[in-house]
Structure 1
């Protein structure tokens, strides 16, 4: 029996063992046609039935994909809404988060559905052109998120360690983002060349999108390309990110200012102030937020990359780790796209302010008036329902104040004006 040799994430652009499952599925049973069991057909006539293996463990990943897809789609669209409508939508940090959100949406709306349906269908039905294009776009999405995180880390590093004027910093940020996106599209081009649709040796009707010819004809080059992808999507971004934030921590906590004051009795007092205390609150909040996003990347991407490297080195399936756990680790990689908007929402005031106006419910939308009103006006007015809530003074209403709201049609100009 001749079976396909298993490819890995480097050449599929999806995840370390998506096609590992496909080939193990075939090669463990292929006797797909050779080792089938004689059975009686439904019509009562004698025949040969194809016995498919029970792979219920893979449904764990399918369920997780559905959850990740829903959370990531809602979260990232809400982030886009708040970024485009917020007061500080043109700030450099918001620009970086905007690009990261686009990268996360690429994984959410393309990689996850493709992986989901590929697991269900087992074989490839899209033809040779779609095979190459899908592998290309999937790899662009896999490059995009780490590359944008590199830009975020470099920007935070430069703003803390080598502060520039706002104009210079904005230009630097835009140039780095442009370079990162161009790099994503350029270095993904090999996917168009190495993939093709091939039929299984034992079943000409079973078609699969693979890099089998590239792997067998150019074995050394195939290994080099795999490790290049691993380094570009994980090792290099991780090294740059860790290096940048290490330098930031050293700069912040290693620097201090010393000031002398004269007391009432003529004695001089010397006070030392750490570098962390001298940072503006907005910059500190942005630094903590980006640090949390980077931490989420490390936690989500590390397990599946280690697993994929082990599979590639051994060139055989991991038999020691339970299949269900392997599926959880693979889904964990894609869950990074759902975690990023949650982190952004935790640290951003504009997100919490504009989130209620980003979604409609039955054609109606609640518009909040974040303004301070007197007890007399709220008690005497019966036109609108009232609600008490605690909010920061940055939202326009002091803690414990009473705010009123009213419901208006979603398509009116007033809603658009209030959400900008």
Structure 2
């Protein structure tokens, strides 16, 4: 596929898709093809799928196995689940859609899958907002630590329910459309809006709630956090060197981890959404920019689901230890299977036959009988 459809036509995506641009984009229609750039996109998406699914499952297993009651635990757990939703819903559907070019399933699948894609994207963004707010309260209002667990649960419920509600219009907007005079059917929103300005308004609403607003909240939270830390550094000589200082260091370590996760979200998705804004104001850019640019920027956005587990692992020693334990167990399991499947050598056969016929022998006797 040459490009991705507008937010409304491809869930969370911003730039129009050549497969469906003919359904609502002016100009002569020609059936799209599975281009070389799209093939590269599918290949990279499959690699991202394997990396993100394995790494996020590892984080889930590591966190689930901990008995720690830290209120941050449920936040990282929710972020891993949200990243897994993006991995399992967005990546496979995007790859298959690029390969098949058009939509071969029924209209119900068209509606549900596009709803699921946007829900996954909303959940990933809004959970990051909850994490940013949690760090904001932890640093600026440390005395509210005792109520953090309950507050986080309320914010997480709000984030997940909000994601469902914000993604629900997809169930009504998406439908199957067939190009007149051609055997080409696509899952799109063409014809769902009475006026063009309504489609533009919905696109802008989705763009603001999916990217601009979460990004703004994150920037405000971490700006205030860094400002507060800067003030404390100026008065560090007045701070007591006690257990409270150790707790402060632990919070700062957690702050660094969440800050890197948020920054990776900003860096990965900002270029792609800026490309979408360009398209909204200048639709002819679809013909002016190379196809590989749109594919590359979208893949760069998906990279965020792979970086979250990596960042968590870098800042969490227990996760590294869990990985080493799992790798040792996997290595031991593979070694045992290799030994069990390995054919016995002649000397081993002689030892086995000798022992079974004459009864148990000592090691020395066995070696003598073979050699």
After superposition, where does 1:166-315 map in structure 2 within 5 Å?
Answer: 166-203=145-182, 205-215=183-193, 217-255=194-232, 271-272=237-238, 280-315=248-283
After superposition, where does 1:14-413 map in structure 2 within 5 Å?
Answer: 14-17=12-15, 20-23=17-20, 30-32=29-31, 55-88=35-68, 90-203=69-182, 205-215=183-193, 217-255=194-232, 271-272=237-238, 280-358=248-326, 361=330, 364=333
In the superposition, relative to structure 1, how do residues 277 and 96 fare at CA in structure 2: closer, same or farther (>3 Å)? same
Structure 1 residue 59 displacement after superposition: 2.0
Q: Is residue 10–residue 226 contact of structure 1 (8 Å, CA) maintained in 2?
A: yes
CA distance in structure 2 between the partners assigned to 1:78 and 1:131 by the alignment:
31
Corresponding residue SS for 2:286: coil
Structure 1 residue 87 displacement after superposition: 4.5
Q: Is residue 256–residue 273 contact of structure 1 (8 Å, CA) maintained in 2?
A: no
Of the three residues 9, 12, 15, the one matched with 2:10 is 12
CA distance in structure 1 between the partners assigned to 2:112 and 2:10 by the alignment:
11
CA distance in structure 2 between the partners assigned to 1:218 and 1:105 by the alignment:
36
Structure 1 residue 163 displacement after superposition: 2.1
1:290-338: CA deviation from partner (whole Å, max 9, x where unpaired): 0000010001110110011111222234344332222111111111111
Q: Is residue 123–residue 160 contact of structure 2 (8 Å, CA) maintained in 1?
A: yes
Structure 1 residue 21 displacement after superposition: 2.6
Taking structure 2 as the reference length, the TM-score comes to 0.81
CA distance in structure 1 between the partners assigned to 2:134 and 2:177 by the alignment:
45
CA distance in structure 1 between the partners assigned to 2:98 and 2:235 by the alignment:
62
Which residue matches 1:45?
Answer: none
CA distance in structure 1 between the partners assigned to 2:30 and 2:64 by the alignment:
55
CA distance in structure 1 between the partners assigned to 2:41 and 2:250 by the alignment:
39
In the superposition, relative to structure 1, how do residues 138 and 274 fare at CA in structure 2: closer, same or farther (>3 Å)? farther
CA distance in structure 2 between the partners assigned to 1:75 and 1:117 by the alignment:
22
Unaligned runs of 5+ in 1: 1-5, 33-51, 260-270, 367-420
In the superposition, relative to structure 1, how do residues 54 and 188 fare at CA in structure 2: closer, same or farther (>3 Å)? closer
CA distance in structure 1 between the partners assigned to 2:332 and 2:276 by the alignment:
47
Structure 1 residue 279 displacement after superposition: 5.8
Corresponding residue SS for 1:131: helix
Unaligned runs of 5+ in 2: 336-371
Which residue matches 1:401?
Answer: none
In the superposition, relative to structure 1, how do residues 365 and 250 fare at CA in structure 2: closer, same or farther (>3 Å)? farther
Q: Is residue 11–residue 226 contact of structure 1 (8 Å, CA) maintained in 2?
A: no
1:189-209: CA deviation from partner (whole Å, max 9, x where unpaired): 110111111111121x32111
| Cα root mean square deviation, aligned | 2.7
Greater percentage in strand: 1
CA distance in structure 2 between the partners assigned to 1:14 and 1:122 by the alignment:
19
Taking structure 1 as the reference length, the TM-score comes to 0.72
Corresponding residue SS for 1:124: coil
Corresponding residue SS for 2:203: helix
Aligned length: 327
Corresponding residue SS for 2:176: strand
